[in-house]
Amino acid sequence: MTKPSASASVEVATDPATAFRIFTAEIDLWWVRGPINFFDATRAIGMQIEPGLGGRILEIYRHADATTAEDVLELGQITAWDPGALFAYRSSVDDTETEIRFAPVEGGTRVSVEQTLLPGGKKAFYFWPNVIGWYADRISSAAAQAPAELDRLGIALYYEDPAAAAEWLGKVFGLESSLRLSGDDNHPSWNELRVGGSAIMLFALKELVDRRPVDHAVWISVDDLDAHFARSTANGAVIVAGIEQHGYRSYEVKDLEGHHWRFVQSGPSMA
């Protein structure tokens, strides 16, 4: 059963008006570009929020002022717009609505996100608890001149509790996590750690029911996924999952000793 809501919050060291502006007008500077961070990472080149009631939240595929269905994916339409305090939107890709509130606190602003399943709704992509840390990082660092782009090499690790694992890995090994939530927030089902520009993605172990005891996989982005798949197949790699589209376009194989490798089609903005 789909849970009814998901919430997350962060505190940032800036005033509510500035926090609101960075969240909305500069979303393309803080939204991290990586294979699991878009609905179609193979084509996506950015994110955009159109200001005001009726504005759209867009995943951009061609150019900044794209308007046709081939150019963008509409993620939602704005239903409330109060700069420095609140904006809300109704999702166009699932059955949820989301409120983002900006409240003054000592030393800055508390930014709270709540995504709620609509009455009778069945489909929900609760991604905000996973990505709001990118926004906090953008404010705490120097002004970004370009969006953060993940490197071509990444690692996936599987845990019973990805959020607890992220906390432990940060505390013990000093790995930087994108999770910046207070103790009473809902924990997401996956998380992402950073080592420079590379990602360590933490997923729920339940996703591996059919392939234990493997609990990790290497992820590599390639320029031509079809040609790479043909090469792997011709040279004896054991195909775990053929080419499929699930936000990112990828396939997965086993090597000669059973280690898992996932190859992903690189995005258009990847170096």
> Taking a C-beta distance cutoff of 8 angstroms, is the pair 208, 215 a contact?
yes
Q: What is the pLDDT of residue 109?
A: 96
Domain boundaries, the chain: 5-149, 210-265
Query: What residue ranges of the chain have pLDDT lower than 70?
Result: 1-2, 63-70, 141-145, 177-189, 206-214
In CATH, which of 3.10.450.50, 3.30.720.110, 2.60.40.10, 2.30.42.10 is domain 210-265?
Answer: 3.30.720.110
Report whether CATH 3.30.530.20 matches the domain 5-149. Answer: yes
Q: What is the pLDDT of residue 209?
A: 47
Q: What is the pLDDT of residue 185?
A: 47
∠ CA 84-112-39, rounded to 5°: 100
Using a 10 angstrom Cβ sphere, with 0-12 exposed, 13-18 middle and 19 or more buried, the burial of residue 82 is: exposed
Element (H, E) at 132: helix 128-140
CA–CA distance, 17 with 62 (Å, rounded to integer):
30
* Matching fold, domains 5-149 and 210-265: no
Cis preceding-peptide flag for 213 (omega within 30 of 0): yes
For residue 122, the Cα-to-chain-centroid distance in whole angstroms is 21
Query: In this structure, what token pair is assigned to residue 189?
Result: 């089902």
Give tens-digit pLDDT for 49-102: 999 999 999 999 975 454 555 689 999 999 999 999 999 999 999 999 999 999
Q: Which residues contact 232 (CB under 8 A, 6 or more apart)?
A: 239, 251, 253, 263
| pTM, 2 dp | 0.74
Closest CA to 58 of 74, 40, 38, 34: 74
